[in-house]
Amino acid sequence: MNYPIYRKFKGIDVWFKISSDTSFIEIKKLGTRVLISKIEAVQFPEKLLIQDMIAKHENRWEEVDQEVVERILKSEKFI
C-alpha cells in the first residue's frame, strides 16, 4: 500500500490523511477554524477504522486529492 492516503467523510467537513496502517491525522473544519488530531492506532477498533477508511467501507468515505488536504493543513486557522 502506498501512503499517505487521503479520505473525507461524505457530507461533512472532516478529512483524513492516513500515514500508515496504524496512524492517521483527522482534520475537522469548525466554522472558520480547523481542529487537527493525530491518531496512533493501538487497539483493534482503531486499526479497523483505518482499514475501513482505506476500503471506503459502507460508502461513508470518499477519496480526496492530496492538494486539498495539504492546503487545509497549511492554513493558519488552527484551534
The string of pLDDT tens digits covering residues 26-62 is 999 888 888 999 999 999 999 999 999 999 999 999 9
Within a domain: 30: yes
Within a domain: 29: yes
Dihedral pair phi/psi, residue 39, rounded to 5°: -115, 130
The Cα-based distances of 58 to 23, 32, 49, 77 in angstroms read: 21, 29, 12, 32
C-alpha cell at 62: 470518499
Q: How far apart are CA 28 and CA 37, in angstroms?
A: 9
Q: Indicate the number of domains in the chain.
A: 1
Q: What is residue 30's predicted lDDT score, i.e. its pLDDT?
A: 87
pTM of the full structure: 0.90
Within a domain: 18: yes
Within a domain: 79: no
Share of the chain above pLDDT 70, in %: 96
Within a domain: 59: yes
Q: Is the pLDDT of residue 24 over 80?
A: yes
Residue with cell 486499526: 47
Average pLDDT, the chain: 93
